[in-house]
Structure formats: C-alpha cells, structure tokens
Amino acid sequence: MLEARAFEPEFLKKLDRLILGIKRARTVRAGQRTLGRVQGLGIEPENFREYNEGDDLRFLDWNTYARLDELAIRTFRAERQVEMTMLVDASGSMAFPERDDKLGLALAIAASIAYVGMNDNDAVRIGAFAMRRGEMQLDLSPFHRRRESYLNFQPFVAAVRTGGETRLGAAVDSLLHQRRPAGIVMIISDFLVNRIDYEDALSRLIAARHEVKAIHVMGEMESNGAYPPGLYRVRDAESGEMRETVFGPETAAACRRKVEQLSGAVREFCNSRGIAYAHAFGAGSLEPFVERELPALGVVR
Amino acid sequence: MGFLNPINLLWAAALGVLVFIYLRSRSRPTIAVSSLMLFDEVPAPVARMRHVRIDLLFWLEIAALTALVLAVAGLYVMAPVRAHHGRSHALVFDLGAAMSAKTSGTSSLEEAKRQAFGVIDDAAAGDEFSVITYALEAQVAAPQTRNIASVRKTIDALKPYAVPARASALEAAMMRARGASTIDLFTERPPSQRAIADAGTTAQVRVHRAAHGDDNVAIVSLDPGTLDASRGRVVLRNFSLKPRLAELQIKIADREVFHQTLMFAPREQMVVGFEPLKERGLISAQILTPDAIEADNRRWAYGQTDAAGRILVLSPDAAVREDLARVLIAVNPNLQIETADPAKFDSHANGARPFDLAVMHDCYFPGVPAASVLLIYPPAAIPPAARIPGLAVSAKAGPAVLNSARDRGDEAGQGAVVPAVRTLSLPDWMDTLALGTRPGTYDLAPIAAIGSVPGGRIGILAFDVRDRLLLDPDRLDALVITVNLMKRLMAPANLQIVSTGSYLNIPVTGPAAITAPGGAASTATPDQWGRVRLRPLESGRYTIESGNRTVQVFANYFDASESDLAMAASAPAARATGSAASSNSAGPREVQPLLIILAAMAMAAFVIEAAVLLRHASRWGLGHV
C-alpha cells in the first residue's frame, strides 16, 4: 500500500522542487538520417570537423572554405525531449517479507521519479515485469508528458501484482523489441537474481544507448535478517525451493553480510558501466530516499 | 484427592495431540522468503535441539489443557466439613440371613437398627439420611431425605432375608451411597477391603459390626431316598467352634418318621440316614433345638413318586422309543408306558383317559390328551393352533456343546457334544433349564426349557436322542438334562420346592393371593401368559391361591458362608475398622470439587498466551503468529 503515498498531495509538494538529473543535451552527428527527425527545441553550434565524403553539404561551412580554402563541416548540439521508462520488478520475491512491502516501495519510487520527470514535459511511462508461466510479462503504461496527467498512472500502479520469477534479461529483451528511441531506463528491483542476468540486462541497455539507472530495493526485515527466532523451513518465493535454517543473531548477521555483498556487487558493476546506482532498504526510507539519496546520486537534482 | 468422573480423563489424550501438533509445528514451520540466496542450510545438530527447546506458548497451552481435563474429570479434594453445613449420611444395612442371628433374644439386625438410631440421634439438625440395603442385590430403601421420621420408619420395617449377602451387592450398595459424606455400614461380618476402599475415597466410612455368637447348626441337604427301596439322608453341619446338640425331626405329610437328638463335635458335618419311606409326599426335616439362624433349620423335599401313571412315547425311530421307555422306567418303575410310531399312531384310539405325560420325539401331535408334554428334538412345523404359542423351531440342525458345567457347579467341566440340535426361539412364558453353545461361537442357545399353559406343562429338549445318545456314557449330561426335565414334568403341579432367592413363574387363573411364611399376604396380577412371578426371600411355605387352585411353594435356604457365624465372628475385624478409622482420623471431611480453581487456571493461561501472541504479532506481524 506504500505506492498510494506517491499520489498524496503533501508528498508531491516535496517533489515539485526536484528536477531530473539526466544528460539531456545530445550530440547530433552531421549527416545522420535521424537528425531532422530528432530536432530539438534549439540548435547551437558545437564544433567543426574536416569534411568527409558523403557528409551532408547543407552543413558545410562556406565561410571557412572561403577563408582557409578547406572544407569543414559544422556540428550542432540538439536539445530534445527524452523518453523515460521506469521498469519495476513485479516478481514473487518483491512480495516477501510481506511487512516490508517491497513492491509498494518500488512503485512509489517509480511514480515519484516519473512525477519529477514530468516537470520538463519528458515522456514518462512505468512498466512492471515478471516471468510468469514461462513467458515474460512486461506491462507498460502509456507515455504521459504533463503533470496534469500524472494521476493517470495511479490505476496502473494500483493494478500491479507480484508473482513469477525475476528475469531482467528477458524484460530488457521485451523492452528493446519495441524499438523506441534511446532514452532513460530506470530499473527498480531487489536484484535477487543471478549476477549474469542483471549484468547482461544492464549491458544490453547500455549498448542500446539508453541512459540506465539502477535502484536497488529491499525490505528492512530481509536486509537486516530480522526474522522471528527459531527453526524454520524457508521457501523461495519464486522457485519454491525449501531449505531449513535457524533464525537468530548469527543468521541475521550472515543475512546482512549477504545483502551487503549483493548490493556491493550491483554497485560495482553499475559504477564500472557508468550506471547510476541507488538503494532503498526499508519502507520507511521512501521520503529520505527521494529527497536525499536520489539527488546525491544525480538521479534528480 | 480423586476424580468424580474419571472416565473423562480420556480427554487427556488431547495433550498427546497438542504435543504432536507442537512437535510437528516446531519441526516444520514454513516461512516464505524473497530468495534463498540470503540463507544458509542449518547444521544438523541444531536441528535436533529443537525438540527440547522451551516454548512458552506450548507450556501455557499444556497447562490450560491439563487444567481443563482435570476440571471435566471432576478433580476434588477431601476437605473438612464446613460449619453449619448439612451433611449427608448413608445407612447401609446387610439383610443377609446372618443378620437374623440371635444372641440373648436380640437379632443382629435389631442391634444394627439400634446403632443406626444412635447415629440419627447424634446427627446435627439439617443432616440428610438415606437407607440402603443389600443381600442378593443392593436396594435403596429410602432416598436422601431430611425427614427423620420417615427414615426411622424405613429402618424399623427392615427384616433379614433367608439369602446370603453377596460381596457384589455390598459393592453396589457402597457405590449408591458414594455421594454421602458419611457412610454407616451395619453388618455382622467384615466387609471386603475393596468395597470400603472405593467408597472411602469420597466419604467417611464407619463399619458397625453386630456382635453375635457362633451357635448355629444347619441342614445342608435332604435326600428322601427311594420309596421302599433306599434310605433317605439328611446332611447337617455344626458351624460352631463348640460341641452342639441338635434334635432332628423328619416328617412326611405331617407324620413323624424320624426323631433323634444328635451330638456334634465342633464344626462337624454329619450324614444322618433314615429308613426308606413307605409313602410318597412332602418330606420335611427340622432341627428343633433353637440356634442363632432359624432359616437353615428346616428343609423340604418331595419323596419320589411311584404313581402308576400312563406315559405315551412317540418317535419315528424304534431305538429311540426303546431308550426313552428305559429312562422313564428308571425314573418311576410303576409307569405304564405306551410307545408308537407317529406314522401309525391314532390319537382317537386311546380312549378318553388322558396320559400323564406324552413324550414326542421328532414329531408333534397337538390332539393327544396329556397333562404334560415333553417335546424332544421338536419338528420345525408346529401348527399355530398348537398349545405352544410363541415357540419357533428352526429346521436346520447342527452340533452343540451342552453347557452343563454351570448346572453341576463344576466350573472346570466340559459339556458333552450332541450332534444334532435344533435352534429354539422360546416364548416368554417358558423358562430355560439348560443352555448350549454352537461350535465356533460364543452364543448361548436354549437346550432345555419348561413352561406352563392352562392346558398343562410343556417341556422341550432341543437335541436329538437318536443313536443311543441317552445311553452313551460319554454324554451323561444329555441323560441328566432329560431325566431332570421328566421329573419336573411329572412332579405335582401344585407343589414346588425351590431355593430362596430363585425366581418362579406360577400359572394362575386370575389375580393370585400370595401368603408368605411369616403370614404376610399380598396380591399379584398375572401377566399376559397367565403367570405370577414369585421370588421367595424367606425360607418356608408360600401359598399362592388363584380361583380354585392352590399352589404351595417351599423355599429352602442354606449357604455355607452365610451360615458360618463362627468364621464371621473370628474374622479380622481390626482390619476393616482400621480402614474405616483411617478415614476417620482427620475428622469429618467432604468432597470439594476444584472445578472453579482449575477453570480459573486455564483462563489465566489463555490470557497470558493471548498477551504473548499479541506481543509477538506486534513485533513480527500476524503472519508469524
């Protein structure tokens, strides 16, 4: 139920002063076919370079040719709108521990960032993914650009249900098959998957020239290992695999170590690929995370 | 401390169920987690330790359940009687024959009554009394009441019976008195420890033993012998530890045939013979010397009849007709026996004179005029209009073991096997005399029965007597049953000699006036079969008059243990009174159930458990409760 917090007026007032921290300016390479179609709001000269055969003669700088008798091509910086996709992990692991409401936290963060993104009239959508019955189920909301349409996200967010397995690679495949222009993709997940899976998924997004940001969400109970003491059989929410374990101080410490290792591994990979990484552990960390963590990490400013 | 409803302790099985649930839940509580990546497999030794781990909730549930089980089982403690609290007394009287033993003109029962009145006088105002008696069975003579006058009247009316006091009857009486806070048992001999111990757990038991001497000589048995052939015998026994004189008189039809004074050594048993009787009829033996118990001083028997009766024997088997004739001649040599094959028998060709007994083997002729009928191995097809209403016989025959051991009093005896027995379904008006068991089953089936209808007496033997069965020395049981039934069928119809305590069915023609030996008169209404049921509890002559018919019943009493006053007097009284004294030592006590305390304990355990669960839920969430 934490996702409802993202639509409360008091909470939205706090988001009003935030701006999406993305590399909005893109270099439009001269002669590329996409230039005209991706024309932004303004054009400013960026640089000159030597003319090569095949360059568009419209960008030839005739003044330079007249003074220096050399053919040079002018390049420009094109400022344009970006498409932002918030991909929320809706697998079965996001439902446990129940009291942590990880899915609610992930959806609230996604909606909050979407609201910030709509400040600049960027096209924003929210998606939820999970592998269910052997098929990747990627549900995406329509793009919304203006804040007036922010509340249109609310039915979609409220309808997201957990279930199935986390398959980041398959989700990215489904997203890339839509052949949308490169934009911003934020993946919000607990990353409780095989390391190869998330590394492959994030790498392919990078390769598709998306600006990728990873937000690691975990519950307070599972990140601290604070389960009721005793001997239990624990069942994996996604695979159904069972294992006997004893919950206690030692298990909690081991659990915390494993969470730190997982978080460290994801952060390390993201840093190596220039991906902004942030983690939100615990439902109580929604507002501090949005107000402090995201600006600190450059997701918003 | 004890339990009012110990059967409810079976609910303690729920504790086992709780332990099972606990161990199961402890061993396999399953919790869903986001991923097993965060958890390690637990080492095996830790897993084994779970069985001894202390779990507060489990022990609270055990405590609550135990308290509830003890509450429904009626756990109680014996606590001192509170002041101004009405107590209940049960006055239990032994009415066996030994209670009639007199010492200095006062019987043991009268002494017991005196002591009981003393108990009543000493009781506080508001106390309740009940009067319970026992001999062959236990009986509540007066239920719990504060009406002292009614209780006194009931006690005054008590009188001893000529029957033994059974231990089982005493236990039944003590069970009925269990609800009382004080049980006063009036008897002349020490009660069994078990009866006292059972009752002593819930009540204070006081045993009042009536003192009496051991001065008793009894007639054990009376055998009239054979008319003009063999001597009769009387067996007498001196139960006293001292030598005794006894004057014995034997009469037949109010004519004295024997009179002698006998000298008995201490505890001597003597067999006294007398000359063969010259006439048939009722014979009585009586000890004229007064002693403690009068009931065993007189005994009756019926002299063997030598009347020249007419007997008809019908059987399709010539050998059977011959065997039955031999047996009948052995019973009475003066019988005139006619035998016939049923296929050639003409019931109208025998003149108007009826037979005294008609014996029909594997056949039935309802039109034969006879005072009594003996059906041996009766056919299945008995016409509904026959004089045997309600009798059903199965056509199928099979072997059976005669259950004769009980009849002879020989517990170790093995009954004879008879090869062909038909299953009888007897009407209510017939009395079973012998039972048998089908091989491989434990169901008892009637083998011999007798009953009376307005037309006369009818006896039935279910087994076949072919193949010289009655003459087979290995199957004497069959012969004994046959002879006994023949004797009863040929005995005078207006005279019966029975033991006290046995039940009798006497055919009558209307309401019957019954006169007991003491002269007490009563009226009985016949049942649907035209019989009145009588159970003589006093020794002596009962007279049953109905219409123009009078039946005399002579009830004999003898019981070796009950008549043995010397044994009762020398029994270890200290042990019996000691057990009673043990319950007396702490003063008057009464049962106080702990129901409220146990229920409160259970409730407290539940409240604590609920608090723990709430705390657990607030900390870990409802999913972990």
B478-532 pLDDT, tens digit per residue, is 998 999 899 888 888 788 888 898 888 888 888 999 999 988 899 999 888 788 8
Domain residues for the domain of B380 are 310-490
Predicted confidence at residue B581, as pLDDT, reads 40
Query: A219 and A249 share a domain?
Result: yes
Predicted confidence at residue B220, as pLDDT, reads 92
Query: A101 and A152 share a domain?
Result: yes
For residue B579, pLDDT over 50 is answered with no
A279 touches A263 (CB < 8 A)? yes
Closest by CA position to B124, among listed B88, B157, B158: B88
Residue A83's φ and ψ, nearest 5 degrees, are -95, 130
For residue B423, pLDDT over 60 is answered with yes
Alpha carbons B444 and B266: distance in angstroms, whole number: 45
Q: Do B620 and A228 touch (CB under 8 A)?
A: yes
We report the CATH number of the domain holding residue B328 as: 3.40.50
Predicted confidence at residue B271, as pLDDT, reads 93
Query: A8 and A56 share a domain?
Result: no
Query: B196 and B145 share a domain?
Result: yes
Query: B447 and B512 share a domain?
Result: no
Which residues of A are less than 8 Å from B54 in CB distance? none
| A190, A192, A232 member nearest B29 (Cβ) | A232
In a domain, B96, yes or no: yes
Q: Is A206 helix (H, G, I), strand (E, B) or coil?
A: helix
Residue reference for tokens 């209670």: B99
In a domain, B288, yes or no: yes
Exposed, middle or buried by CB within 10 Å (0-12, 13-18, 19+), for B558? Answer: buried
Predicted confidence at residue A60, as pLDDT, reads 87
Predicted confidence at residue B621, as pLDDT, reads 65
Query: A6 and A41 share a domain?
Result: no
Query: A102 and A58 share a domain?
Result: no
Q: What ipTM, to 2 d.p.?
A: 0.77
Predicted confidence at residue A191, as pLDDT, reads 93
Query: B356 and B381 share a domain?
Result: yes
Q: Do A254 and B40 touch (CB under 8 A)?
A: yes
Alpha carbons A108 and A294: distance in angstroms, whole number: 13
Query: A285 and A222 share a domain?
Result: yes
What mean pLDDT, rounded, does chain B reach? 83
Of A82-96, A257-271, B95-109, B456-470, the range with the lowest mean pLDDT is: B95-109
| Residues β-bridged to residue B301 | B283
Instruction: Give B452-456 contacts, CB < 8 A, sequence gap 24+.
Output: B452/B493, B452/B505, B452/B506, B452/B507, B452/B531, B453/B387, B453/B388, B453/B389, B453/B429, B453/B507, B453/B529, B453/B530, B454/B507, B454/B509, B454/B530, B455/B387, B456/B370, B456/B371, B456/B372, B456/B373, B456/B387
Q: Do B33 and A94 touch (CB under 8 A)?
A: no
The percent of residues above 90 in pLDDT, for chain B, comes to 32
Which residues of A are less than 8 Å from B44 in CB distance? none
Predicted confidence at residue B575, as pLDDT, reads 43
Query: B348 and B484 share a domain?
Result: yes
Query: A75 and A186 share a domain?
Result: no
Task: Name the pairing type of β-strands B444-453 and B430-437.
Answer: antiparallel
Query: A57 and A180 share a domain?
Result: no
Query: A179 and A267 share a domain?
Result: yes
Task: List C-alpha distances in Å: B92 to B20, B172, B186.
Answer: 49, 11, 6
Q: Do B34 and A192 touch (CB under 8 A)?
A: yes
Query: A68 and A216 share a domain?
Result: no
Predicted confidence at residue A32, as pLDDT, reads 38
In a domain, B505, yes or no: yes
In a domain, B53, yes or no: yes
CB pairs under 8 A between A and B: 93
Please give the structure tokens belonging to residue A221. Answer: 């109970």
Query: B6 and B17 share a domain?
Result: yes
Report which secondary-structure segment, H or E, holds B8: none
Taking the CA of residue B30 and the nearest CA in chain A, the distance in Å comes to: 5
Predicted confidence at residue B574, as pLDDT, reads 40
Q: What's the DSSP call for residue B476?
A: H
For residue B614, pLDDT over 80 is answered with yes
We report the CATH number of the domain holding residue B188 as: 3.40.50.410
Confidence of residue B577 (pLDDT cuts 50, 70, 90): very low
Query: B43 and B109 share a domain?
Result: no
Confidence of residue A98 (pLDDT cuts 50, 70, 90): confident
Of A79, A112, A147, which residue constitutes the final position of a domain? A79
Which residues of A are less than 8 Å from B30 in CB distance? 232-235, 242
Query: B399 and B429 share a domain?
Result: yes
Is the minimum CB–CB distance between B620 and chain A shorter than 8 Å?
yes
The amino acid occupying position A120 is D
CA B143 and chain centroid, separation = 23
Query: B287 and B331 share a domain?
Result: no
Alpha carbons B467 and B475: distance in angstroms, whole number: 12
In a domain, B98, yes or no: yes
Which residues of B are less than 8 Å from A244 in CB distance? 41-42, 47
Helix axes B148-156, B108-122, angle to 10 degrees: 170
Alpha carbons A284 and A105: distance in angstroms, whole number: 9
Predicted confidence at residue B337, as pLDDT, reads 92
- Span B116-153, pLDDT tens digits: 999 999 888 888 899 999 999 999 999 989 899 999 99
- Span B13-51, pLDDT tens digits: 888 888 888 777 666 678 888 888 888 765 544 444 444
Predicted confidence at residue B81, as pLDDT, reads 61
Please give the structure tokens belonging to residue B364. Answer: 């039935």
Name the closest residue on chain A to residue B32, using Cα atoms: A235
Domain residues for the domain of A37 are 25-79
- Span A198-230, pLDDT tens digits: 999 999 999 988 889 999 999 888 888 888 777
We report the CATH number of the domain holding residue A167 as: 3.40.50.410
Query: B393 and B416 share a domain?
Result: yes
Q: Do A246 and B624 touch (CB under 8 A)?
A: no
Query: B442 and B338 share a domain?
Result: yes
Query: A111 and A203 share a domain?
Result: yes
Confidence of residue A30 (pLDDT cuts 50, 70, 90): very low
In a domain, B495, yes or no: no
The percent of residues above 70 in pLDDT, for chain B, comes to 87
- Span B425-437, pLDDT tens digits: 888 888 888 888 8
Query: B67 and B40 share a domain?
Result: yes
Predicted confidence at residue B590, as pLDDT, reads 66
Task: Name the pairing type of β-strands B310-314 and B355-361.
Answer: parallel
Task: Name the pairing type of β-strands B182-187 and B88-94.
Answer: parallel
Q: Is the peptide bond before A97 cis (omega within 30 degrees of 0)?
A: yes
Q: Do A231 and B39 touch (CB under 8 A)?
A: no
- Span B251-294, pLDDT tens digits: 988 889 999 999 999 989 999 999 888 887 889 999 999 888 88
Q: Do B30 and A251 touch (CB under 8 A)?
A: no
Number of folded domains that form chain A: 2
Q: Do A245 and B41 touch (CB under 8 A)?
A: yes
Residue reference for tokens 């839509």: A178
Q: Do B33 and A237 touch (CB under 8 A)?
A: yes
Which residues neighbour A196 within 8 Å (Cβ) at sequence distance 6 or greater?
none
| A96, A244, A258 member nearest B32 (Cβ) | A96
Report which secondary-structure segment, H or E, holds B531: strand B531-534
Which residues of A are less than 8 Å from B47 in CB distance? 231, 244, 246
We report the CATH number of the domain holding residue B298 as: 2.60.40.10
Number of folded domains that form chain B: 5
Interface test with B, best of A93, A235, A245 (most B CBs within 10 A): A245
Of A55, A79, A103, which residue constitutes the final position of a domain? A79
Predicted confidence at residue B227, as pLDDT, reads 76
What mean pLDDT, rounded, does chain A reach? 83
Of B116-120, B154-158, B351-355, the range with the lowest mean pLDDT is: B351-355
Which residues of B are less than 8 Å from A98 in CB distance? 621, 623
Please give the structure tokens belonging to residue B463. Answer: 């087994």
Query: A235 and A268 share a domain?
Result: yes
Predicted confidence at residue B431, as pLDDT, reads 85
Query: B485 and B508 share a domain?
Result: no
Residue reference for tokens 């008189």: B249
Report which secondary-structure segment, H or E, holds B482: helix B476-490
